[in-house]
Amino acid sequence: MTALGFGATATIGSLRYTGGIAAVRVALSIGPGVGSARLTLPRDLRVDAKPGDDVAIALRGESPDETDVFTGTVVTVRRALDRTVIVCGDAAVALAAIRTGSTFEHQGASAVIDAFAREAGVEVGTVDLDLDLASYVADQGRTAWEHVTALAAWGGALATTAADGAVDVRPFPSPPADVALRYGREIAELGVTTVTPAAGVVWTGSGPAGDASDPRAQLQTTATLPDDAPGPDAHTIRVAAPALRTPAAAASAIEAAAARNGAPRLVAACWLVPALRAGTAVEIADAPTPESTGPWLITRVVHTVGPGPAGRTTFEAVSMQSAGSSLLDRLVGAIGSLL
């Protein structure tokens, strides 16, 4: 790994840096985490950056070709005697910076997310989210990014920021994996943690309607939706979600929460692999133990280059094999008659 030379280029405002960057650190995460980048530039390098300037970063790994990894804006500029450090945020940071106070009626989750993005001034890429909403209140107790993440989770999806800076909301991927890494080649370190499932979360809505277009969808009911949902008990927590007004919406939220409960976690390190992003599905060939093979869903990844030609990628991931099957089976049985 140490024999390989890695590199980075960056465009900050009107200036492009193809060399001379002392160090780069790019951290990417699925929601509710945000993406950030930190660029360290030598003191004698011209730097005109100011907060709000556009930033684009590309990294070079094993291949001589560069890979775009980050698009965002400058958040802070710190000038020291020997260096200038520029901290940047992606579209998730822009959404996390606002607390909208809006109410949406008869709009799908995709339309709600589009509205948040417009308010934050960020682009929307792919939004593949099927969540039937009669209304949604974006209370200011959450940031806009937290609202996006919550809507995505209810719909069995994950929210990320793409390399071009657009917000993407895509369904949780299914095997096979997108990328295969080899232990002993790219992968230098890894560890797998298995955990006891926590108390299951059951999102409960309220409403007598079968779909969001039904005029009764806005009516309150004394019963929860679904009315025979498990819990509350020592191992099941009911959480009220008034926006879930139909059986399909409640079912989606419940199943998504149960599927990841107790899933094994992976932490790994490898040489610089710029193609790895939050939301990427990976498997590990020649894994030292069967449980580390995967497939894994990357939840957070950090790319670092420098000082010098050194490069490294570390990532955290969750197993794509459902661990919460016991609770999930109970929930599916409870809501099956409503679908």
Report domain extents, the chain: 7-93, 96-171, 179-195+262-319, 200-258+325-338
Q: What is the CATH number of domain 7-93?
A: 2.30.300.10
DSSP H/E element including 335: helix 325-335
DSSP assignments along 176-199, one per residue: SPSEEEEBTTTEEEEEEE-----P
Q: Exposure string (b/e) for 221-257, b if CB count within 10 Å is 16 or more? A: eeebbbeebbbeeeebebeebebbbbbbbbbbbbbbb
Q: Give the model confidence (pLDDT) of 56-111 as tens digits.
A: 999 998 888 899 999 999 999 999 999 999 999 999 999 999 999 999 988 889 99
Q: Which residues contact 122 (CB under 8 A, 6 or more apart)?
A: 91, 94, 95, 165, 166, 167
Same fold, 7-93 and 96-171: no
pTM, two decimal places: 0.89
Flag whether pLDDT at 176 surpasses 70: yes
Higher pLDDT, 166 or 238: 166
Flag whether pLDDT at 118 surpasses 50: yes
The predicted pLDDT at position 64 comes to 81
Rg (CA), the chain: 22
Q: How confident is the model at residue 322 (pLDDT cuts 50, 70, 90)?
A: low
Higher pLDDT, 225 or 81: 81
Q: In terms of Cα–Cα distance, which of 71, 64, 55, 67 is closest to 16?
A: 55
CA angle 66, 280, 273 (to 5 degrees): 35
Average of pLDDT values for 149-162?
A: 94
Q: What is the CATH number of domain 96-171?
A: 3.55.50.10
State how far the Cα of 307 lies from the Cα of 286, in Å rounded to an integer.
31
Integer distance in angstroms from the first to the last C-alpha of the chain?
53
Where are any strands of DSSP class E within 100-172? 102-105, 124-127, 135-138, 157-161, 167-171
Flag whether pLDDT at 210 surpasses 70: no
